[in-house]
Amino acid sequence: MYRNKRVGVLLGGPSAEREVSLATGRAVVTALGNKGYDVVEIDLNEQTAETLRREKIDVVYNALHGKWGEDGCVQGLLEILRIPYTGPGVTASAVGMDKVLSKRIFSAESLPVPAYAIVHRDEREETRRSGSPYGWPVVVKPATEGSSVGVTICPGPDDFAASLETAFAADERVLIERYLPGREIQVAVLDNKSLGIVEVRPKPQPGETITFYDYKHKYTKGYTEYITRPEGLSDEQADAAQRLAERAYKAIAAEGVSRVDLIMDGAGKFWLLEVNTLPGLTELSLVPMIARDWRNIGFDDLVEMVLNTARLKMGV
């Protein structure tokens, strides 16, 4: 579809996830180069609009992560410039990045989400004094960050103030979410259809009170075990996880490839945590792993498939 077009790969940028985005973007640049595309690597900054015009970019592969690249900002710029791009549009990107808005939509669609409370910055002292509304441990996370930036699982009241400060360092709003122990299941969805699943099993590290799939475990080789055919998970359960992920993807109008994060509790029920609308494509990323092991789709082919979903979302 875009074989004879000039492809700009947007990567990097000023967000807390810059290094992950650089890794994703450079992997995408290499994959598209292997496929024979005319590719330009573009690090997001204040001159990006000028760069896109100067380089005569026909289509953008959005390899950005975090604020400004994943939250609707760059999507709005690309719509104004009339340059087709991968991933969801302005509204879907903003909703997907905002855990408060996305949870409200998931709840309205009767999708199972853990109980949560929203705390604004001016409420943090009162919240610190009152403690967790869901007992201990409890999840504390910023409303609009990805890659588990600022997320902690607070084990008890003595650590609650520090967990709040960690989250508020990244955002004006913080979610306090009921902690659900269970198996961490991730689903890759491309163009409304599941590609398959993977179970992630973070390995406990020295000094950890509770181990979960945080930034350190996501991006440090050897810190997590990945199982694309999880033992003890029936075909019916794997299918249920994929159908739930597809419903979540559609609920926020995601496009291109997304990764949907789920927890399966001890009773076998799946709970929806979030939809990552621009998931990583690094050496340790889950989407390429799922595509390869479930669908026999190689990395370069996967990147090209995502590129071919690029379009303007607000008309021609």
Q: Point out the residues that are catalytic.
A: 17, 147, 219, 259, 261, 274, 276, 280
| CA 258 to chain CA mean position, Å | 7
Structure tokens at 248: 């979540």
The CB-side HSE value for 61 (13 A sphere, CA atoms) comes to 35
Sequence-distant (6+) residues with CB within 8 A of 259 are: 186, 187, 188, 189, 275, 276, 279, 286, 287
Q: Are strands 173-178 and 116-120 parallel, antiparallel or unpaired?
A: antiparallel
- Closest residue by Cα to residue 142 from 9, 16, 10: 16
Sequence-distant (6+) residues with CB within 8 A of 207 are: none
